[in-house]
């Protein structure tokens, strides 16, 4: 029974991993065929895989174990047996995370049950070396870069101008690194042996070796009408950190070891949290596990209290944070405050939509935790009282712990409404203009934010404006956009303190003006640049293009070789 149960879990994980790699592998074909619609659909398919295989595995175990399904002693033996069999296999930590997911579903575990779960060691156990492609430089960077491109060529699609592309990479290495290099300074180039596909781009990820140090390098490839081109060459940690951001969509990449690839990326980007690197590579559950481990370690080393997160209180969720840690926690109120009419299930579905969608650099990645335990003595009296009063169906006390039936966890950013009050005039203007671009970028990826108040947007450490309040998110293609009717004696205008609608998805963009509660100077700047957002015509045009399957390119860098353009499917 023990062996069969351990095998069943291992088999479920293997099948999940096979499906994950199968979907990941076809990203190359999608890129060559410029099948961007298929690529977007695969984001959703791959996100759902883990839960699907976890549920299937639990169902098999329930049928096979019968009355022993929840026998704690049996599961203690299974844990030991499972751990012994997978010891030292590549990326063994992933298999242990899957095992934990199964036991948590079997027992409805609160917090951590060390008797039946794997707590340590972390996923570095069983690590294999990362396969790299290495290119020694013999004093001729152009030749090295030509070899690089030839090695990573696509058999079904040629380069538009391989010679010029190689020269461009070499020139950027010489001129644009944080410390300019000569051809003789460069000892070799080293690249992870796989393409990294995201959106409409393929990336080559590597480093430049010199005598005393290394420099990061990422080459962005674009598939144009005339062939593959080098769209950008990024050679600083700041540039590369943006493309591996927690506001970006998950990559399709198949390195020989995910753990080793994460370690490689962390060496290039030492300020990037490990959990975010797992997540951006599509290993969402491992990213969630690492985030939890990091949080617990941090709690053991600190003594500050959870407090309300900066910004205006939400009508739907209570939001709190630990000042010394860069996360916020969102817990739904039992009863939503007026004028909100959304339901708890609506909110869960909105967050699920975002997790399966293209983030385009404008949506913060959010993790859904169930039965999360946090120490009661780390909560301020104020936040504890609000949780007990406003969310007793979600939050309970278990000894010295608070248990959260559901909690959404995401990176902390500075609310935009606070940010524009704190910065100088020039930076405030830049942020407000980027707020308008954020709304447009979301629209181009078929996301309608719903609530456009500045308090629902935030500014990242890189200065980018992002959206983080998903309570009322919907698809642009599911909305209907209308001009406001002219008032007359029989049909007076409704009070502007309310949304005007005929149906739940009927939107009147002219009413967005009331969301622009900002200093008059910033409001004028916003309207000069983004007045079209207040017209039904703009939104109907976006909806029409989304319905016809057009995909807009939103890339995480400044294009250096090709002009911005839209891609028709």
Q: Could you tell me the sign of the dihedral formed by the alpha carbons of 191, 197, 203, 207, in that order? A: negative
Segments of 337-385 assigned E as strands: 366-375
User: How far apart are alpha carbons 460 and 201 in whole angstroms?
Assistant: 23
Complete DSSP assignment for 19-77: HHHHHHHTHHHHHHHT-HHHHHHHHHHHHHHHHHHHHHHHHHHHHHHGGGTT-HHHHHH
Residue range 352-381: mean pLDDT, rounded: 93
Residue 446 backbone zone (phi > 0: left; psi -120 to 50: alpha; other: beta) = left
CB count in 10 Å sphere of residue 127: 18
Burial code of 425-434, b = ≥16 C-beta within 10 A, e = fewer?
eeebbbbbbb
Crossing angle between the packed helical segments 36-65 and 284-301, to the nearest 10 degrees: 70
Known catalytic residue: 365? yes
User: How far apart are alpha carbons 293 and 328 in whole angstroms?
Assistant: 16
Q: Choose the catalytic residue: 42, 185, 358, 365.
A: 365
Q: What is the pLDDT of residues 12-41, one digit of tens each?
A: 999 999 999 999 999 999 999 999 999 989
Contact 121, 177 (CB under 8 A): no
User: How far apart are alpha carbons 129 and 13 in whole angstroms?
Assistant: 22
* pLDDT tier, 516 (very low <50, low <70, confident <90, very high otherwise): confident
Bond before 304 cis per omega within 30 degrees: no
Residue range 499-510: mean pLDDT, rounded: 74
The pLDDT > 70 percentage for the chain reads 94
User: How far apart are alpha carbons 318 and 309 in whole angstroms?
Assistant: 9
* 392 vs 90: which has the higher pLDDT: 392
Rounded (to 5) percent helix, strand, coil in the chain: 45, 20, 35
pLDDT at position 553: 84
Q: What is the pLDDT of residues 535-566, one digit of tens each?
A: 999 999 999 999 998 888 888 887 664 333 34
CB count in 10 Å sphere of residue 483: 12
User: How far apart are alpha carbons 80 and 78 in whole angstroms?
Assistant: 5
pLDDT for residue 501 is more than 60:
no
Beta bridge partners of 317: 332
Q: What are the φ/ψ torsions at residue 304 (nearest 5 degrees)?
A: -75, 165
Burial code of 346-355, b = ≥16 C-beta within 10 A, e = fewer?
bbeebbeebb
How long a stretch of residues is the chain? 569
Contact 110, 371 (CB under 8 A): yes
Q: What is the pLDDT of residues 64-118, one digit of tens each?
A: 999 999 999 999 999 999 999 988 787 788 999 999 999 999 999 988 899 999 9
Element (H, E) at 395: strand 395-398
In the DSSP assignment, the letter for residue 440 is H
Q: What is the CA radius of gyration of the chain?
A: 25
Element (H, E) at 16: helix 2-25
Model pTM score: 0.91
Q: What is the pLDDT of residues 252-272, one digit of tens each?
A: 999 999 999 999 999 999 999
Q: Quick one: which of 546, 367, 339 has its CA closest to 440? A: 546
Bond before 428 cis per omega within 30 degrees: no
User: How far apart are alpha carbons 293 and 300 in whole angstroms?
Assistant: 11
Q: Could you tell me the sign of the dihedral formed by the alpha carbons of 442, 447, 453, 459, in that order? A: negative
């Amino acid at each position: 029974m023990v062996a069969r149960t351990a095998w069943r879990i291992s088999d479920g994980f293997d099948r999940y991993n096979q499906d994950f790699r199968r979907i990941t592998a076809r990203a190359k074909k999608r890129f060559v065929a410029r099948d961007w619609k298929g690529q977007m659909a695969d984001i959703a398919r791959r996100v759902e895989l883990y839960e699907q295989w976890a549920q299937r595995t639990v169902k098999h175990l329930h049928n096979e174990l019968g009355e022993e399904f929840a026998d704690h002693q049996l599961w203690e033996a299974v844990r030991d047996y499972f751990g012994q069999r997978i010891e030292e296999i590549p990326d063994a930590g992933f298999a242990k995370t899957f095992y934990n997911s199964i036991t948590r579903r079997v027992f409805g575990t609160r917090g951590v049950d060390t008797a039946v779960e794997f707590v340590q060691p972390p996923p570095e156990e069983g690590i294999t070396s990362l396969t790299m492609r290495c290119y020694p430089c013999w004093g001729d960077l152009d030749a090295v870069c030509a070899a690089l491109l030839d090695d990573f060529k696509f058999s079904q699609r040629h380069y538009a101008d391989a010679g010029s592309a190689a020269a461009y990479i070499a020139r950027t290495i010489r001129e644009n690194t944080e410390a300019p290099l000569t051809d003789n300074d460069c000892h070799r180039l080293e690249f992870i042996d796989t393409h990294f596909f995201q959106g409409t781009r393929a990336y080559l990820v590597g480093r430049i070796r010199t005598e005393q140090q290394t420099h990061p390098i990422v080459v962005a490839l674009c598939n144009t009408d005339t062939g593959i081109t080098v769209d950008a060459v990024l050679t600083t940690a700041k540039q590369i950190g943006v493309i591996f951001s927690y506001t970006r969509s998950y990559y399709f990449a198949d390195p020989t070891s995910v753990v080793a690839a994460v370690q490689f990326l962390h060496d290039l980007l030492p300020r990037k949290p490990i959990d975010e690197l797992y997540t951006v590579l599509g290993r969402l559950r491992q990213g969630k596990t690492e985030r939890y481990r990091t949080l617990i370690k941090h709690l053991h080393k600190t003594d500050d209290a959870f407090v309300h997160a900066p910004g205006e209180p939400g009508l739907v969720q209570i939001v709190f944070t630990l000042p010394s840690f860069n996360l916020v926690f969102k817990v739904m109120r039992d009863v939503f405050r007026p004028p909100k009419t959304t339901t708890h299930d609506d909110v869960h579905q909105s967050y699920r939509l975002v997790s399966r969608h293209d983030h385009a650099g404008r949506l913060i990645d959010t993790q859904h935790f169930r039965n999360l335990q946090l120490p009661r003595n780390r909560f301020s009296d104020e936040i504890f009282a609000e949780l007990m009063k406003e969310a007793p169906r979600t939050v309970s006390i278990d000894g010295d712990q608070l248990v959260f039936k559901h909690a959404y966890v995401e990176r902390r950013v500075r609310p935009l409404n606070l940010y524009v009050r704190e910065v100088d005039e020039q930076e405030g203007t830049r942020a407000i203009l980027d707020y308008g671009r954020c709304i447009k970028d979301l629209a181009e990826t078929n996301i309608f934010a719903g609530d456009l108040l500045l308090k629902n947007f935030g500014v990242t450490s890189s200065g980018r404006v992002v959206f983080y309040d998903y309570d009322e998110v919907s698809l642009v293609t599911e909305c209907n956009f209308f001009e406001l009717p002219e008032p007359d004696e029989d049909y007076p205008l409704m009070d502007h303190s309310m949304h005007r609608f005929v149906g739940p998805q009927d939107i009147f963009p002219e009413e967005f003006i009331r969301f622009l509660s900002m200093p008059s100077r910033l409001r004028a700047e916003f309207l000069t640049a983004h007045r079209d957002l207040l017209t039904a015509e703009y939104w109907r045009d976006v909806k029409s293009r989304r319905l016809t399957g057009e995909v807009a390119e939103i890339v995480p860098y400044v294009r250096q070789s090709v002009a911005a353009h839209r891609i028709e499917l």
